[in-house]
């Protein structure tokens, strides 16, 4: 299989189902940002962190490929008129979202209560995690915009929302594990 096809040389790309859209289409922006997020998660996974977090990030990366495939599919061509699925694309489930919630609850048990907003940083690994979190929020915003234009499966938006929360808690837990200082944001007095 060749990597280059030359079919996108005029600024369009094909969705699953064959529909061609401009490369700047909100659907492309949405799943492209999910791909960017997945790359940053690979960077976090490559750090010296607990094996459990590495495995969890790997699981999340697989889910993000599923989520990207959902976003890359023309919804009009995903199902037949009978309602049956035309394309065999896995789904994001309520259980996938629950897993993120359970992991956050577990990590929070070991963390001190949060009393202020926290500035990103303190350790390169923590900073990579915060970058992934902000890219996740951008993916969520773009997907919400897409949903406004063309409905997106509800678990897709929910997963991105919960994942950004998970990444925030993971950044805090990594700070804790790495004995990195959490720098509190304290507003300047006017």
Strand partners, 21: 13
Average pLDDT over residues 123-146: 98
H helices within 11-149, ranges in order?
A: 26-45, 51-71, 75-78, 94-110, 124-149
Q: pLDDT value at position 11? A: 80
pLDDT in tens, 86-111: 567 789 999 999 999 999 999 999 99
Say if residue 81's pLDDT is above 70.
no
Does 24 have pLDDT greater than 90?
Answer: no
Full set of structural domains in the chain with CATH: 14-80+90-178 (1.20.1200.10)
């Amino acid at each position: 299989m060749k990597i280059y096809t030359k079919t996108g040389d005029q600024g369009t790309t094909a969705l699953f189902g064959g529909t061609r859209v401009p490369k700047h289409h909100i659907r492309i922006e949405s799943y492209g940002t999910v791909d960017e997020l997945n790359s940053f998660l690979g960077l976090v996974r490559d750090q010296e962190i607990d094996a459990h977090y590495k495995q969890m990030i790997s699981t999340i990366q697989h889910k993000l490929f599923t989520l990207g495939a959902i976003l890359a599919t023309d919804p009009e061509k995903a199902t037949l008129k009978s309602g049956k699925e035309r394309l065999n694309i896995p789904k994001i489930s309520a259980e996938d979202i629950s897993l993120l919630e359970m992991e956050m609850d577990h990590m929070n048990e070991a963390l001190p209560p949060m009393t202020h907003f926290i500035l990103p940083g303190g350790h390169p690994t923590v900073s990579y995690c915060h970058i992934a979190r902000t890219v996740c929020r951008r993916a969520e915003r773009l997907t919400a915009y897409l949903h406004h234009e063309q409905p997106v499966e509800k678990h897709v938006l929910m997963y991105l929302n919960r994942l950004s929360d998970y990444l925030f808690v993971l950044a805090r837990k990594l700070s804790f594990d790495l004995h990195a200082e959490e720098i509190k944001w304290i507003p300047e007095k006017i």
